[in-house]
């Protein structure tokens, strides 16, 4: 055996243990920065978004746990697993009961990454899930005017840009629309910002109204020239949404906020987005709630949670289903059931 081979046999346990210790120290450091000083832009902010995946090296450690003289390695592995469980615990949804509530609604949101070819997926969704309210983003669905069956099924709708709807955003409803409008961020600094929020006020019967808000803040990834992750435009749009909603929440309105928010719950913008609202997934959702991902190996791999349904405190979530069946989009479908 060569000298290098002899040296490796003697030192492999030590080198492996040192490498794993350095990995755990770096991981704890990243977690501490995320917990106490989360970054808003730049490469480290992007690292924080994909933080759960920094635990993947623990999987590759498993074969080495059965080697001799690896007690320290096993201890580090257990600490890593505990750390992951504390930071990212699995969700077990608590399906609620209406308990005599005066009204219930179902709402669906989906970024369909749309074109005419995907109108068939919309029909399939609406016929199988039968939601009372449908919120779509990135439809680019030029044939919606010809979808007589869908428009009859949902006789109240806002989708035409010439009627004021932001491009690609659609709201379909079985409940009458009393009024609608858009929310636009202050565009004095970036004159080409466009509205990214569409809202409707629905008449849900018995003198009650429900404000439904379809939001699609712009992505922070490569939407500013020369910057990989710059959320300034997105955060400005979230601030405008926050300023619109807070007086209505204080006034006691019932509000559903749905859509592709292009922000994870590990980013500072999430706190402003969810202020005084309830995140339905955290209350009645299952699993990690990941709703965006990539296609691969004939299946859909969801990686991040960026699609949400938020409600005001005077609405009780009963259930939330995150359906990641492959439908030609890189987003999952969220379907919620609520008691008013």
Taking only the tens place, the pLDDT of each residue in 284-329 is: 998 889 999 887 555 567 899 999 999 999 999 999 999 988 888 8
Q: Indicate the pairing of strand 208-215 with strand 255-260.
A: parallel
Q: How far is Cα 27 from Cα 143, in angstroms, rounded to an integer?
A: 49
Q: Indicate the pairing of strand 104-111 with strand 133-137.
A: parallel
Q: Assign 44 a pLDDT band (cuts: 50, 70, 90).
A: confident
Q: At what angle do helices 3-36 and 71-87 cross, to 10 degrees?
A: 20
Q: Assign 111 a pLDDT band (cuts: 50, 70, 90).
A: very high
- Quote the Cα angle for 60-62-63, to 5°: 95
Task: Give me the chain's average pLDDT, please.
Answer: 85
> Cβ contacts of residue 290 below 8 Å, gap of 6+?
302, 303, 304, 305, 322, 324, 332
Using DSSP's 3-state secondary structure scheme, residue 28 falls into helix
Residue 113 has a pLDDT of 81
pLDDT tens digits along 215-240: 999 988 877 666 778 888 899 999 99
CB-CB contact of 336 with 319 (8 Å):
yes
Q: What is the CA radius of gyration of the chain?
A: 23
Residue 116 has a pLDDT of 47
Mean pLDDT of the 271-290 span = 94
Residue 253 has a pLDDT of 96
As beta bridge partners, residue 221 has 229
How many Cα atoms within 13 Å fall on the side-chain side of residue 141?
A: 27
If one counts every other C-beta atom within 10 angstroms of the C-beta of residue 23, the result is 16
pLDDT tens digits along 321-338: 999 888 888 899 999 999
Least confident of 82-91, 143-152, 198-207: 143-152
Q: How far is Cα 52 from Cα 333, in angstroms, rounded to an integer?
A: 22
Nearest CA to 340 out of 306, 317, 323 is that of 317
Decide: residue 283, CB within 10 A, 0-12 exposed, 13-18 middle, 19+ buried.
Answer: middle
Mean pLDDT of the 170-197 span = 78
Query: Could you identify the residue written with the tokens 């019932």?
Result: 254
The secondary structure of residue 331, as a DSSP letter, is B
The domain made up of 104-339 has a fold known as: Deoxyribonuclease I; Chain A (3.60.10)
Q: How far is Cα 35 from Cα 185, in angstroms, rounded to an integer?
A: 29
pLDDT at residue 100 tops 50:
no
Report the predicted TM-score, pTM, of the whole model to 2 decimal places.
0.86
């Amino acid at each position: 055996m060569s000298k290098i081979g002899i040296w490796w046999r003697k030192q492999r346990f030590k080198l492996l243990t040192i490498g794993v210790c350095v990995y755990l120290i770096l991981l704890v450091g990243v977690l501490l920065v995320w917990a106490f000083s989360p970054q808003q832009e730049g490469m480290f902010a992007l690292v924080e978004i994909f933080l759960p995946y920094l635990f993947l090296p623990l999987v590759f450690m498993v074969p080495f746990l059965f080697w001799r003289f690896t007690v320290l390695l096993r201890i580090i592995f257990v600490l890593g697993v505990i750390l992951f469980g504390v930071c990212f615990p699995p969700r077990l949804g608590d399906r609620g009961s209406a308990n005599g509530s005066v009204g219930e609604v179902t709402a669906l949101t989906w970024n369909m990454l749309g074109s005419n070819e995907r109108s068939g997926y919309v029909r399939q969704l609406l016929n199988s899930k039968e939601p009372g309210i449908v919120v779509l983003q990135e439809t680019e669905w030029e044939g919606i005017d010809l979808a007589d069956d869908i428009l009859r099924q949902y006789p109240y709708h806002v989708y035409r840009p010439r009627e004021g709807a932001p491009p690609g955003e659609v709201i379909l409803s079985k409940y009458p629309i009393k009024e609608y409008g858009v929310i636009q961020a202050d565009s004095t600094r970036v004159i080409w910002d466009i509205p990214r929020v569409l809202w409707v006020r629905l008449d849900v019967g018995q003198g009650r109204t429900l404000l439904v808000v379809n939001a699609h803040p712009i992505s922070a990834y490569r939407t500013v020239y020369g910057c990989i992750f710059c959320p300034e435009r997105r955060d400005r749009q979230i601030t405008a949404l926050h300023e619109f909603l807070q007086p209505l929440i204080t006034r006691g309105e019932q509000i559903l906020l749905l859509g592709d928010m292009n922000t994870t719950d590990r980013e500072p913008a999430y706190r402003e987005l969810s202020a005084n609202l309830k995140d339905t997934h955290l209350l009645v959702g299952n699993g990690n709630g990941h709703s965006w991902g990539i296609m691969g190996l004939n299946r859909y791999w969801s990686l991040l949670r960026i699609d949400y349904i938020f409600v005001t405190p005077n609405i009780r979530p009963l259930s939330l289903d995150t359906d990641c069946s492959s439908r030609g989009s890189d987003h999952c479908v969220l379907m919620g059931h609520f008691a008013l």
